[in-house]
Amino acid sequence: MPTRLPTVQVKAIRLGIAPFDLPAALSVVRVDPAAVGLPGVNLSESLVGVPGILARDRQNYAQDAQISIRGFGSRATFGVRSIRLYVDGIPATLPDGQGQVSHFNLDSAERVEVLRGPFSVLYGNAAGGVVQLWSAAGTPTPLTTLGVNAGSHDSFRSSIDTRGTLGPLDYNIAGSLFVSGGPRPHSRVRRESDNARFGVDLGGGKKLTLVANRLNQPVAQDALGLTRAQLDADPHQVAAAARQYDTRKRIEQNQLGAIYEQPFGGKDRLRVMGYVGQRGITQYQSIPVSAQQSPLSPGGVVALDTDYGGLDARWTHDGLLAGRHYEFVLGLGADAQRQHRRGYDNFVGDMLGVTGALRRDENDNVDSIDQYAQWYWHLAERWSLLLGVRHDEVRFRARDHYVTATNPDDSGGVDYAATTPVAGLGFRPRDDLRFYASYGKGFETPSFNELGYRSDGQPGLAFDLRPARSRNLELGAKWQLMRALAFDAAAFRADTRDELAVRTSESGRSTYQNVGRTRRQGVEWSLTGELADDWQISVGVTHLQARFRSAFLACRARPCTVVATPVAAGSRMPGVPETYGSLRVRHGGELGWHESLDLTGVAAVNVNDTGTERAAGYGVIGVDAGYTFALGEGTRLQLSARVDNLGDRRYVGSVIVNDSNGRYFEPGPGRRFMLGARLVLR
């Protein structure tokens, strides 16, 4: 009897293709933090067992998670770069390529989709990979979940999620509060997260989906990284500058989106998405007072107010060609950000860590317009073809309002454009086996952080910076071992020219350069599903070689105004381990006992371009046990206990690539305990 993959409706490729038939590496992860006793604070909790992606929980909520896919995004020192992020189809990456996952709400989530390889370029600028979080639809029977977690480092989280249906309306509303003292001194955080999804059935197949979310993080202290000497002496200490300048960040974000879908006959569908949002950030940095004496210094306090929004419209058509089914998508999108960026001294007289004199005042605006088309054709009984093309135009404009006799006008603008094709060929020798090959081109523009200053000291944007362009090749196989157990494997190569890297850093100003060619290549495999009744497994392993293929000059130490240290062709790229992987095994059903085991391993990484410093590899273990009681018809109470880093291992959990003060290392937390309780009401 043929073995069939369970039907999963995914949207990562914008087509009605089952993940098993897609000629691309796509992982679909069901989100259920309660299943393994996790608090549901960090996206990394749900990505265990996904190959290709490295999601590091930095335990530093002032800098957000550190996420890379096949080596793309590893150089980001804050936020997420080189990866496109979405929540319910709404971008969480700004048009300039800078993204964040701080507002990803796991309480209302149904699944996470991770798309890797060539087809991620169909999402445009900075698409080294795509991560999408999808909220669950409302349930026919009302369902309310109340959760509480408490544990080490004075951590506490409370949450509520309610789902249901009212006539043609389905709803899913969630809210949470998370507070923690942090695993290191000066790492306290308070985070409030709310998300609401409403689906309205308008009849005749028409549907309107409304999504609103809010993030309020009034305080997130930044303990900063540690130097090698500090790490060796005491990995749980805090950098003195963090206390001296009271380094911290405040974030507030509100966002609203709407998606309208309508069929036309049985062969055509229209989807229109629109969204608006506002994000405010105030960050106090540890830039020394002496460095701010330069008239070119932007100060030590960053204040950003960003308004953003966009539209996306796509038409989908189903038809027959030579008697074989095809699906065609044609789309048009536009996104914009209007950012008011200010900088202030982080001192007033002898008082440090406060807002001082204005040192920077500018408007940084980005507009992007894109057109894309995709075509999937089941060209023969065992063969399928997927083609795509996208054209992007990204326009940067800066208007400098802080102009003095010694700080010239930095106003200016620069435009980028690229056309990125992609193709994939699939072969199905048996119902339970797929092989595929895919190829595509991608590009990534500099962000405003990289364009902000010229390396020659002249005013204006860094017009000499070129976008990084890549060629991506992937060969893969998918095997459905049993009805609910799947094995995937892929070999990949991405060749990039005009890779971006830091050039100079002085007085709070960093400049960037294109450093020629790089190559990221490797293999990945995963095994996911059910091993037996009430036994689930998710394991993913990646071997990756990331190398600079062109020699260039870099700074050996900072502050630095002249690049003079050679980086040889063939050197390892910083922040990218050669091998990493994770495993989660869970046992248990809806009622009674459940247990889980997590393993995470990461090999050593270089932390700077010159390769003079590196962080050792590590492996950590997490275990969980719990019991679920039936309190009545439809009512459940789950109690759980979890231990992370069971062996109390000392390790570097994440690194800050090319840190200007040599504080590259962010220690991972020691052994941690977490108790949880969840009450489910139907």
Residue pLDDT, tens place only, 463-485: 889 999 999 999 999 999 988 89
- Report how far residue 259's alpha carbon sits from residue 275's, in angstroms, rounded to the nearest whole number: 9
Beta-bridge partners for 26: 115
Q: What CATH number did the domain enclosing 449 receive?
A: 2.40.170.20
Least confident of 12-16, 53-57, 330-334, 593-597: 12-16
Query: What pLDDT score was predicted for residue 1?
Result: 33
Nearest CA-CA partner of 317 in 267, 272, 270: 267
CB 175 within 8 A of CB 145: no
* Structure confidence by residue, pLDDT tens digits, 640-679: 999 999 999 999 999 998 888 889 999 999 999 999 999 9
Which parts of 403-458 are beta strand (E)?
A: 412-430, 433-444
pLDDT of residue 75 exceeding 90, the answer is no
Number of compact structural domains in the chain:
1
Structural domain for 418, as ranges: 19-558+574-681
Q: State both tokens at 143.
A: 């369902």
- 60 or 11: which carries more pLDDT confidence? 60
Nearest CA-CA partner of 53 in 28, 35, 89: 28
pLDDT of residue 396 exceeding 50, the answer is yes
Average pLDDT over residues 371-399: 95
Residue 577: asked if its preceding bond is cis (omega within 30°), the reply is no
What is the model's pTM? 0.94
N-term to C-term CA, the chain: 38
Query: What pLDDT score was predicted for residue 507?
Result: 59
Report if residue 65 sits inside a domain: yes
Query: What pLDDT score was predicted for residue 282?
Result: 97
**What are φ and ψ of residue 74, in 5° steps?**
-70, -20
- For residue 448, give the 3-state DSSP assignment: helix
Query: What pLDDT score was predicted for residue 634?
Result: 83
* Structure confidence by residue, pLDDT tens digits, 397-456: 999 999 998 888 889 899 999 999 999 999 999 999 999 999 999 999 998 888 888 877
- Per the listing, tokens 């993959």 go with 5
Report if residue 498 sits inside a domain: yes
What 410-416 contacts at long range (C-beta under 8 Å, 24+ apart), as own/partner pairs, is 410/362, 410/452, 410/453, 410/459, 410/460, 410/461, 411/362, 411/459, 411/460, 412/459, 412/460, 412/461, 412/463, 413/461, 414/451, 414/461, 414/463, 416/392, 416/443, 416/445, 416/467
Predicted confidence band of residue 243 (pLDDT cuts 50, 70, 90): very high
- Report how far residue 394's alpha carbon sits from residue 475's, in angstroms, rounded to the nearest whole number: 31
Query: What pLDDT score was predicted for residue 57?
Result: 82
- For residue 20, give the 3-state DSSP assignment: helix
Nearest CA-CA partner of 483 in 1, 46, 5: 5
Sorted by sequence, the CB contacts under 8 Å of residue 115 that are 6+ apart come out as 12, 13, 24, 25, 26, 129, 130, 131, 132
Report if residue 11 sits inside a domain: no
Containing 244, the helix (H) or strand (E) segment is helix 240-245
Q: State both tokens at 543.
A: 């071997």
Q: State both tokens at 113.
A: 């989709």
Report if residue 3 sits inside a domain: no
DSSP 243: H
Cα 314 to Cα 140, 368, 477, distances in angstroms: 29, 17, 30
Report if residue 8 sits inside a domain: no
Query: What pLDDT score was predicted for residue 60?
Result: 87
- Per the listing, tokens 């507002």 go with 103
Report if residue 564 sits inside a domain: no
Report if residue 2 sits inside a domain: no
* Structure confidence by residue, pLDDT tens digits, 562-593: 788 899 999 999 999 999 999 999 999 888 99
HSE of 427, CA atoms in CB hemisphere, 13 A? 8
Query: What pLDDT score was predicted for residue 559?
Result: 67
How do strand 592-602 and strand 605-606 relate by DSSP bridges?
A: unpaired
- Per the listing, tokens 């000059």 go with 553
Predicted confidence band of residue 510 (pLDDT cuts 50, 70, 90): confident
